Structure 1
Amino acid sequence: MMMEPYLNELLQKRIPLTKDISDKQSPNRFIRSEQFITDGRKSHIITLSGTYYDMGYLLGREYAKQLVDEVTSTYFSVKRKVIIYLKKQREVFNQELEEAVHKFLPLLPTECIMEFAGIYAGCREAGYPFLEPMILEKFLTLIELGEQECTLFAAQPPYTRGHTYQIRDLDYYPNMNMNYIPVLLVRIPQDNQGKPVGNSYASIDFMCNITGGVTTGINEHGVAFSQSRGPFYRRFSNSGLPIKNLIQLVLAYTQTAKEATDLIRMNHPATSHFVIISDPLQKKDSLQLLFMGPGFVHAYSDDESPDLNLVLYDDPKYLFYQPIKGAVYWTDMVGRKVNGVPEEFLMHDFYNVLQSKSESFDKDTGLEVAKTVGNDDTFISALYDTTLMEAWIGYSMRDKPAHTNNYTHFNLNKYFAYKNEIR
């Protein structure tokens, strides 16, 4: 199996590799796939285990045609929308994207580089190679440049009736050129001796965007991560980690929200974000609201008020935060049309919705809130019960936002338990 020359060059600087990279493959690697139907669509639960190269290779080999078709069509569709969103000339943006990709490459985590190398090799071996050079790296960078606003929330007692929950309504560009194939992807990393390494973790996404890290997800310890674009002073830098890489590292290597925050302090993101991280231990630091960006990370617990002077909104009416005991939250839907609430849904509106659920919050209430704050651009709507390790996910369709579709229930314990088979 051959590796892309530029990826091989990057990896040679970090890990001694044999010519055929056999030392980066596990004897116990495996892929397991299930199908489920949501809103009439064939959807996939994919469990991967092996080295990061193995996991990429198995994914590419088994899903080559779907991956190549979906990644390629969505990449060009998203690029068109980002160019419009950023008000750039096409030629100028293409040049900026190329420059950003090459600046990011040396910073990408080894896990990401190995997985990309495996995907390229697996797709090529299956007879469906990517034709656009470096498309996975370009797509990862494009997502970084075109991040959108989202709604984030996490809670534990006394706000809830006993469990810890997290909500993520992920908003993105509507009507993209893609087939909207829902995927739950579970990674169970191994070393090249076939032993488990780090944590197992699940990623919620569509087939077109499951490469290059994690968009939203949860690990076997119940650490869950959600984020939204943040309008802070330093919006973007080529010297930090892409957000999908950073989420992947948090889920792969931390067991608490505090550990996750500490990891982020040592690995600053390339782009500014609001972030919520939670764990099910129900301690004071189990709920974390982060304002983070290139060179800065500010963390707040549920009883703290964040420094709103850091947030650069043009209109002061967008600047609001009132602490809620047992909960942290953020939303940014300026100009979005929201179901069942005022069209201009601001932070104080979200606060009022949440206040009305205090001390009575459970799974049913969580789904109600997720649907209430959904809007016309909601791409994925997720509710996690991190105490029981369950998830309810709504996926968008071309003409219907996620929160207006059915929510599919997943018991994540089943998939994380596969790790026990390789101990």
Structure 2
Amino acid sequence: MIGEASEWHCSLFVAWGKATAADGHLYQLRALDYETEANIQKYPTIAVYVPEEGHPFANLGWAGVTGAVSGISSQQIAISEIGDDYDKANDTFQGMPFAFMLRDILQFDTSLDEAIARVKNTPRTTSLMYAIGDGEYGQGRALQTSHTLCNVFDPDNLEPLTPTHQRIPDVVYWGMSWNVPSYDGPLHDKLMEHYGRINAETTIRDILPNVRTGSLQAVVYDLTAMHIWLANARTEEESGPLKAYDRPFLHIDMNKVFSQARQLSQEKSTH
């Protein structure tokens, strides 16, 4: 339960509708801020599963890390996560580790409603925040959870409502954690600066490096076209910038990946 114990402070957003009107796609950010000195990033993996039960999905992580902290499914569902301690008095390790719950969302759930229901019904552990995007439905939701809490937010009721964390139509977002003005404010301002044309390019080129979030891993999902852009922190053997948000992003067409994975699975089953 390394995720629960170590509180991965991160940032996220889901944007659609008027916020992405230039192309009309749904974009989701998963920026993971964690110790780069631990060298977790040394062996990055994109594990693609074609399970007998459920549907194909991709786990974007690292060798040796179980569960899912970032990922996308063939059902146009993606996950983002933030760790916190706002309900520390009720936090417990007696429950399902969040990384296993998120993996189940990717493998089994076919809609935003199903994913939210899973979060609500899972025996939860510690103070954790999520964003779940649904490319087919064309929207996302933000969830503030703990062992006892499960608050679901859309753009109209997003909390906390503060001077630095104002609501934005067709966007849910959190900077670094719950109520962190030094990140909420810059993230809000950059989302507003690019409002109407938020996409992967503006996120990678301007939003991430200016907000300075996504030190260990940064992922941008286009859940409409099913493309992802992924970067990991520099390893000990590499050169260049250390933080993932400053490094080159790998662009992958996930429709092609899932199609090839299904084909390979079918070929294997016939032999």
TM-score range, shorter chain: 0.7 to 0.9
In structure 1, what is the equivalent of residue 174 of structure 2?
Answer: 330
1:370 to 200, 205, 208: 208
In structure 2, what is the equivalent of residue 62 of structure 1?
Answer: none
Please state how far the C-alpha of 1:390 moved relative to its aligned partner: 0.8
State the alpha-carbon separation in 2 of the partners of residues 183 and 277 from structure 1: 21
- Residue 151 of structure 2 is aligned to residue 292 of structure 1: no
In structure 2, what is the equivalent of residue 215 of structure 1?
Answer: 69
Counting only pairs closer than 5 Å after superposition, residues 26-45 of structure 1 correspond to structure 2 as none
Please state how far the C-alpha of 1:307 moved relative to its aligned partner: 5.3
Summarize deviations over 1:140-165 as a string: whole Å, max 9, x none: x2332112210101111110021111
State the alpha-carbon separation in 1 of the partners of residues 233 and 187 from structure 2: 22
SS at 1:391 equivalent: strand
Q: Which runs of 5+ in 2 are unaligned?
A: 237-241
SS at 1:189 equivalent: coil
> What is the letter of the counterpart of residue 95 of structure 2?
G
Please state how far the C-alpha of 1:320 moved relative to its aligned partner: 4.6
Aligned in 2, Cα 1:268/1:353: closer, same or farther, shift over 3 Å? farther
- Residue 56 of structure 2 is aligned to residue 200 of structure 1: yes
1:415 to 244, 257, 260: 257
State the alpha-carbon separation in 2 of the partners of residues 298 and 168 from structure 1: 19
Counting only pairs closer than 5 Å after superposition, residues 124-135 of structure 1 correspond to structure 2 as none
State the alpha-carbon separation in 2 of the partners of residues 152 and 352 from structure 1: 14
Runs of 4+ in 1 over 4 A off after TM superposition: none
> What is the letter of the counterpart of residue 329 of structure 1?
Y
State the alpha-carbon separation in 2 of the partners of residues 379 and 178 from structure 1: 8
Query: Hey, which of these two has a bigger chunk of helix by percent?
Result: 1
- Residue 15 of structure 2 is aligned to residue 155 of structure 1: yes
Q: Which runs of 5+ in 1 are unaligned?
A: 1-140, 191-196, 309-316, 337-343
Contact 2:36 2:216 in 1 (8 A): yes
Counting only pairs closer than 5 Å after superposition, residues 8-407 of structure 1 correspond to structure 2 as 141-160=1-20, 161=22, 162-177=24-39, 180-190=42-52, 197-209=53-65, 212-234=66-88, 236-283=91-138, 286-306=139-159, 320-332=164-176, 345-368=182-205, 369-375=207-213, 378-398=215-235, 400-407=242-249
> What is the letter of the counterpart of residue 63 of structure 2?
M
State the alpha-carbon separation in 2 of the partners of residues 145 and 287 from structure 1: 27
Aligned in 2, Cα 1:348/1:373: closer, same or farther, shift over 3 Å? closer
- Compare relative contact order (CA 8 Å, sep 6+) and give the higher one, 1 or 2: 2
SS at 2:19 equivalent: coil
Please state how far the C-alpha of 1:208 moved relative to its aligned partner: 3.6
Aligned length: 255
> What is the letter of the counterpart of residue 244 of structure 2?
A
> What is the letter of the counterpart of residue 72 of structure 2?
I
> What is the letter of the counterpart of residue 304 of structure 1?
N
Aligned in 2, Cα 1:295/1:358: closer, same or farther, shift over 3 Å? same
Larger radius of gyration: 1
State the alpha-carbon separation in 2 of the partners of residues 154 and 249 from structure 1: 20
State the alpha-carbon separation in 1 of the partners of residues 132 and 177 from structure 2: 20
State the alpha-carbon separation in 2 of the partners of residues 171 and 379 from structure 1: 5
Please state how far the C-alpha of 1:179 moved relative to its aligned partner: 6.6
SS at 1:174 equivalent: coil
> What is the letter of the counterpart of residue 327 of structure 1?
V
> What is the letter of the counterpart of residue 228 of structure 1?
I
> What is the letter of the counterpart of residue 16 of structure 2?
Q
Contact 1:378 1:402 in 2 (8 A): yes
Contact 1:278 1:288 in 2 (8 A): yes
Contact 1:151 1:373 in 2 (8 A): no
State the alpha-carbon separation in 2 of the partners of residues 187 and 373 from structure 1: 33
Contact 1:331 1:350 in 2 (8 A): yes
If the length of structure 2 is used for normalisation, what is the TM-score?
0.86
Contact 1:154 1:327 in 2 (8 A): yes
Contact 2:7 2:84 in 1 (8 A): no
> What is the letter of the counterpart of residue 202 of structure 1?
A
State the alpha-carbon separation in 2 of the partners of residues 147 and 305 from structure 1: 22
If the length of structure 1 is used for normalisation, what is the TM-score?
0.56
Please state how far the C-alpha of 1:373 moved relative to its aligned partner: 2.4
